[in-house]
Structure 1
Amino acid sequence: MFTEKSLATMSAVEMVAGFADRTVSPVEVHDAVQSVIEARESVLNAFWVRDPAESRKAALASEARWATGEPLGPVDGVPLTLKENIARRGVPMPAGNAGVEPVVPERDAPITERVLESGGVILGSTVMPDWGMLSSGVSSRHGITRSPWNAGWTTGGSSSGAGAAAAAGYGPLHVGTDIGGSIRLPGTWLGIATLKPSSGRIPLDTPYLGRAAGPMARTVADTALFMRVLSRPDPRDWTSLPPQDIDWSALDGDVRGLRVGLHLDAGCGAPRDPEVLAAVHGAAELFEAAGTVVEPVEPFMSQDLLDDLDLFWRVRSWNDFRRLAPEAALRVHPYIIQWCQEGADIPGTRVLHCYQQTMQIQARTVAATLPYDVVLSPVAPVAAFPAEQPMPFMGRGQTMSHIGFTAPYNMSGQPAATVNCGFTADRRPIGVQISGRRFDDLGVLKAAAWYEQNRPAEAFPHWPDTTTATPSAKNVAGTTTPKGEHP
């Protein structure tokens, strides 16, 4: 007999097995997850749009299909969420920004179509910060999204709502997007398993240099299960990879004989917290003890490359910002206003130089990591920072000081996963980034699954209790910000 708690905390792999042998039903699981959401959402603030009645209808339809032994696909009946910038027909897409008039899509994105074709039960659309350009849960439209571990801590961003939903137990599967770390940063700061796949592996309806969408979950096996759905092709993405028959369930096996790079110095950005370095180094020692060959990877990024990537993004966001009406522009988050204004009136020759620098990042990243089957590194130089803070480092010129380890793999298109590998003294999660060669998404997931199964007990995330409400932000952090207000 399953309790509500055990139903809500099932992995997607366990849910599908339970649906198949009729020991659990999609409706039971859906209702248990909705109880978790009701208990926690008033503080966590993970959802932009949520319709429990509609998602329950989808769970009922799934239950009927399983009763006749005719599920639609690998995630039929599994509760899941999609980030708000993934189009759902008729659902407004404000991109976390109070200054924009939300686009209302007339058609689902490829990801949404693949999920619905597979019978996934969409609980709703999760929030993000303004234009996805803050690495936190701070949004001018949505207010502050908070960590289920401690409401005073950040979720990371820009897949802030998706990350909070995964860590809180709002169903086992979630989709985020990433152009510089926006899947993996919530991964490290929330202790969850994530994958930024190879560029083109998951079709998008709006491809962009470095942009990817990927799964966010509590287990590597669940991210792999979701890849069976998300990686199906769609002709709308002109950058997508050719269809490939990948057995995403083939995660077993040891790591003996692998060449593992250990990359502890990004060569740019902020100083690294010793606790973060120690946790990642401990993960490397575990790989080495299992028979891998671990070698140091020298820094291959530089501060000028990171700064030029930042400027390229500033110009892009300035182009969006300058099109807003004056009264609307004032509603954009002040940090974003100041940040993108430095992209105003940049000469075309300078913008082209910045673009060429992204190609330099690509070339350096591929060359530095090519000798290795996988590379281990920190995800970010620090652990979670206060929830109210828009970015990890608030000093002038430090805007992107935290993405020296993550952004290179967006530019190179290489797959990169996260798995929790430890905690700070005050119990903030620390993730290890596991990257691989271009297109070897399965190899990355295999290494991540091996580490997840063999990591020391002190690195295992004992998830926050789903049966009780998260303490209010006021009790934990000393402040609270109502939804929709600026921090």
Structure 2
Amino acid sequence: MPSQLSAQPSATNPADLPATELLALYARRALSPVAVAEAVIARAEASEPALHALYAFAPEQALAAARASEARWMRGEALPLDGVPVTIKENVATEGVPMPLGTAARDDAPPSPADAPAAARLREDGTVIVARTTMPDYGMLSSGLSSFHPLTRNPWNLAKGPGGSSAGSGAAAAAGYGPLHLGTDIGGSIRLPASWCGVVGLKPSHGRVPLDPPYYGRCAGPLTRTVADAALMMRTLSRPDARDPTALPPSDLPWDDLDGLDLTGLRLGLVMEAGAGLPLDPANRAVVEAAARLLAEAGAVVEPVPAFLTQAMLDGLDLFWRQRASLDIEALEEARRARVLPFIRDWAAGGQSLSGAAVFHGMSQMAAMRDAALAAIRPFDFLIGPVSPNPPFPAEHASPTNDPARAMAHIAYTVPFNMSEQPAIAVPAGFTPDGLPVGLQIAGRRFDDVGVLRLARAFETIRPALRPWPVVG
């Protein structure tokens, strides 16, 4: 059936339009979901030979979904996100697509029998699923290095990595593979690639977005180019699902109420020193300090907060995660173990033969981080600070240190908020002298997801103009 809607609204490539604008254009019959899907597919086909952000790229299925969406719009039966392109991280199940978890040890993973909660909500609301996105082995690296997927690169500089473990999601968002991208985060895996790719990345309150299966600190959330698109996506993702026993009670939150936050007198705690891990790079420090000054000039009360994470907390959690990974890897037959990325095997080996006391102590550090983070925010409305201590690093490296003995040295700013179950967002704040993106992290009190989005939106309106989006391919 030929399209009955306009091909495109202007000279702007439809692949670059935010979801909020797409929905308005669809409603006026000024743009077709088919034209948008075609633009996103063309962008991906041009960029993927260099970027490698996608897994299970399905252009024909996406076009079929876009045609069905166009028909609903024409009938006046549009769904909440009807016709908006989306990508979904590989470790979030979609029916009929294998889920290798980024590792060649699972290169024969069977097709998933059903959509995971977040994928189900996106499909129910009419999104056009373009592809899944890449991740490193088991999601345990902040890079695009994987034994299963091709090496994912950063659109701003192909010599750099996008971060991870939502590597493909961050790269796809920055490269303009449509407006909405779903990632997961257990220690920074949404916020780190968002910062290094210059996009918005929200780690919601734990339980706000139902998961299957849930795990300590693990969340699913949006990576987008705008705060409004992240909020729009959360309206869908946060709907209940009985499969997650840790999910929060259903809440009708005002996801659309982003504008109008009065910064006057807002109490912001500025966390510049993490207390553990890598030192803060001067370029990242300069961008975050400039962001804090902008908020203070707009009326917020910005006060320094001493470091609240300790090296003992970070080391303990690292040992606990190593022990869990070593159990998973040792359970594999020898041939499969050999396919796991060597860096991951070396890192996990540090968890072998730990005593029960050591494992218990490591696990207890999650509670220690929780208590420290919640104590730090108590005098404030929000905490602000860096997302990462360093700019993007070489694409071929498994982590900023590229050292299994210090694999978690870069997550000290992000991981406490996973353990404390607080919402935290990365929002683009500026660039290094080399032109690489730097994000500002905003963390809110537990369950104040809308508040975090509102402050991020307020910052978005006062920050200096960002550089044009990168063009790949």
TM-score range, shorter chain: over 0.9
Q: 334, 350, 356: which is aligned to 1:348?
A: 356
Query: Offset of 1:325 from its aligned partner?
Result: 1.2
Could you say which residue in structure 1 is the equivalent of 2:97?
Answer: 91
Using the alignment, how far apart are the partners of 1:416 and 1:300 within structure 2?
Answer: 16
Q: 219, 235, 238: which is aligned to 1:231?
A: 238
Q: 62, 83, 88: which is aligned to 1:77?
A: 83
Using the alignment, how far apart are the partners of 2:94 and 2:464 within structure 1?
Answer: 40
Distance 1:357 1:326, change over 3 A: same
Q: 360, 375, 386: which is aligned to 2:368?
A: 360
Q: 269, 292, 297: which is aligned to 2:300?
A: 292
Using the alignment, how far apart are the partners of 1:417 and 1:464 within structure 2?
Answer: 22
Given that residues 154 and 384 in structure 1 are in contact (C-alpha distance below 8 angstroms), is that contact kept between their aligned partners in structure 2? yes
SS in 1 for 2:66: helix
SS in 2 for 1:327: helix
For residues 309-362 of structure 1, the C-alpha deviation after alignment (integer angstroms, 9 at most, x for no partner) is 111110111111001111111111110010001101111221111111110110
Q: With a CA cutoff of 8 Å and minimum separation of 6, indicate the structure with the bigger relative contact order.
A: 1
Length, aligned pairs only:
464
SS in 2 for 1:143: coil
Runs of 5+ consecutive residues of structure 2 not aligned to the other structure: 1-7
* 1:385 lines up with 2:393 in the alignment: yes
**Which residue identity is paired with 1:371?**
P
Could you say which residue in structure 2 is the equivalent of 1:211?
Answer: 218
* 1:310 lines up with 2:318 in the alignment: yes
Could you say which residue in structure 2 is the equivalent of 1:259?
Answer: 267
For residues 279-298 of structure 1, the C-alpha deviation after alignment (integer angstroms, 9 at most, x for no partner) is 11111111111111111111
Given that residues 191 and 461 in structure 1 are in contact (C-alpha distance below 8 angstroms), is that contact kept between their aligned partners in structure 2? no
Using the alignment, how far apart are the partners of 2:50 and 2:411 within structure 1?
Answer: 28
* 1:159 lines up with 2:166 in the alignment: yes
Q: 48, 54, 68: which is aligned to 1:41?
A: 48
Q: 157, 162, 170: which is aligned to 2:177?
A: 170
Could you say which residue in structure 2 is the equivalent of 1:200?
Answer: 207
Distance 1:409 1:103, change over 3 A: farther
Could you say which residue in structure 2 is the equivalent of 1:462?
Answer: 468
For residues 382-420 of structure 1, the C-alpha deviation after alignment (integer angstroms, 9 at most, x for no partner) is 000011111101245321110000000000000000111
Using the alignment, how far apart are the partners of 1:397 and 1:268 within structure 2?
Answer: 14
Query: Offset of 1:271 from its aligned partner?
Result: 1.1
Q: 9, 23, 28: which is aligned to 1:16?
A: 23
Q: 134, 158, 163: which is aligned to 1:127?
A: 134
Query: Offset of 1:47 from its aligned partner?
Result: 1.1
SS in 1 for 2:23: helix
For residues 126-159 of structure 1, the C-alpha deviation after alignment (integer angstroms, 9 at most, x for no partner) is 1100000111000000121011111111100000
Using the alignment, how far apart are the partners of 2:224 and 2:467 within structure 1?
Answer: 12
**Runs of at least 4 residues off by over 6 Å:** none
Which moves more between the two structures, 345-354 or 239-248? 345-354
What is the TM-score when the length of structure 1 is the normalising length? 0.94
SS in 1 for 2:223: strand
What's the RMSD between the two structures over aligned residues? 1.1
Given that residues 222 and 234 in structure 2 are in contact (C-alpha distance below 8 angstroms), is that contact kept between their aligned partners in structure 1? yes
**Which residue identity is paired with 1:310?**
D
**Which residue identity is paired with 1:130?**
D
Given that residues 347 and 405 in structure 2 are in contact (C-alpha distance below 8 angstroms), is that contact kept between their aligned partners in structure 1? no
SS in 1 for 2:314: helix
SS in 2 for 1:144: coil
Query: Offset of 1:446 from its aligned partner?
Result: 0.3
Using the alignment, how far apart are the partners of 1:3 and 1:385 within structure 2?
Answer: 37
Given that residues 201 and 231 in structure 1 are in contact (C-alpha distance below 8 angstroms), is that contact kept between their aligned partners in structure 2? yes
Given that residues 27 and 63 in structure 1 are in contact (C-alpha distance below 8 angstroms), is that contact kept between their aligned partners in structure 2? yes
Using the alignment, how far apart are the partners of 1:366 and 1:263 within structure 2?
Answer: 13
Using the alignment, how far apart are the partners of 2:225 and 2:110 within structure 1?
Answer: 31
Q: 450, 457, 460: which is aligned to 1:449?
A: 457
